[in-house]
Amino acid sequence: MNMMLSEHESLAFISGRRSVFPKELEDEEVNRDEIMRLLEAARWAPTHKVTEPWRFVVVQGEALTEFRDIIEKVIIEKGLGKDPIEEKIACTFSKLDRVSALIAIVMKRDDRERIPEEEEQWATACAVQNVQLHAKSLSIGCYWSTGAGREHSTVRSFLGLAETDFHMGWLFIGRYSAEKRLIKERRPVSDYTKWL
Ligand SMILES: Cc1cc2nc3c(=O)[nH]c(=O)nc-3n(C[C@H](O)[C@H](O)[C@H](O)COP(=O)(O)O)c2cc1C
């Protein structure tokens, strides 16, 4: 099916996407089938030489409980920043307790390294944006986070990442069906475009 959206429909769909943060999520779970349907959108991202470098590791159920313990240890070990450790742990737990799943976003390097690494990261980011755009149609709320021990070796081994896999962060996933308003107006196209 080659469905055409009008210019207005297309832009309304893209501009209507919003990050949904854990505190905004509803109680109903997002099930495995819905997560598979959500990730289907990644398939259609642009990819140089069609290397399809995106991988997703879905952490849910008991694995999410296990991850909670891991991240607590990681926070204690890192002794993060200016906030007291207990506050940082409580803040992280409050997010994890509200999600149905955490999805690790991973770039898998092409075996033959035909493409510069950053291009594989860009293709993976395109795949993530497809997923974020598709989420609304499934009443799934999500946001991309680069926190939560992304580069830590314990987190990497929990996810089963190979040395050359690049962990690009997490999608925090949960149920959300309400409308969200734009918090901050965006710059007009003339501000970010230069004509030669
Ligand atoms: C690569 C990337 C990393 C992000 N990391 C975080 C993060 O660590 N924490 C966070 O609160 N939001 C993060 N965000 C989401 C932004 O906060 C969000 O996109 C921004 O607030 C704009 O809102 P919108 O997505 O509804 O347009 C990230 C977004 C991107 C693209």
Question: Which residue out of 136, 145, 151, 176 has the highest number of ligand 1 atoms within 8 Å of its CB and is therefore the one to mutate?
Answer: 145
Name the closest-CA residue to atom 30, ligand 1: 144
Question: Which residue out of 13, 18, 19 has the highest number of ligand 1 atoms within 8 Å of its CB and is therefore the one to mutate?
Answer: 19
Burial code of 102-130, b = ≥16 C-beta within 10 A, e = fewer?
Answer: bbbbbbbbbeeeebeeebbbbbbbbbbbb
pLDDT at 2: 73
Has residue 112 got a pLDDT over 90? yes
pLDDT in tens, 6-55: 999 999 999 999 999 999 999 999 999 999 999 999 999 999 999 999 99
Q: How many residues does the chain have?
A: 196
Per-residue pLDDT averaged across 175-196, rounded?
A: 95
pLDDT at 77: 87
Strand order in the sheet with 140-145: 54-60, 101-107, 166-175, 140-145
* Domains with residue ranges and CATH for the chain: 20-177 (3.40.109.10)
Has residue 91 got a pLDDT over 80? yes
9: left (phi over 0), alpha (psi -120 to 50) or beta: alpha
| Consecutive H or E run containing 66 | helix 62-78
Distance from the CA of 147 to the center of ligand 1, in angstroms? 11
| Positive or negative: CA dihedral 87, 146, 111, 54 | positive
Distance from the CA of 118 to the center of ligand 1, in angstroms? 20
- pTM (two decimals): 0.95
pLDDT in tens, 126-185: 999 999 999 999 999 999 999 878 899 999 999 999 999 999 999 999 999 999 999 899
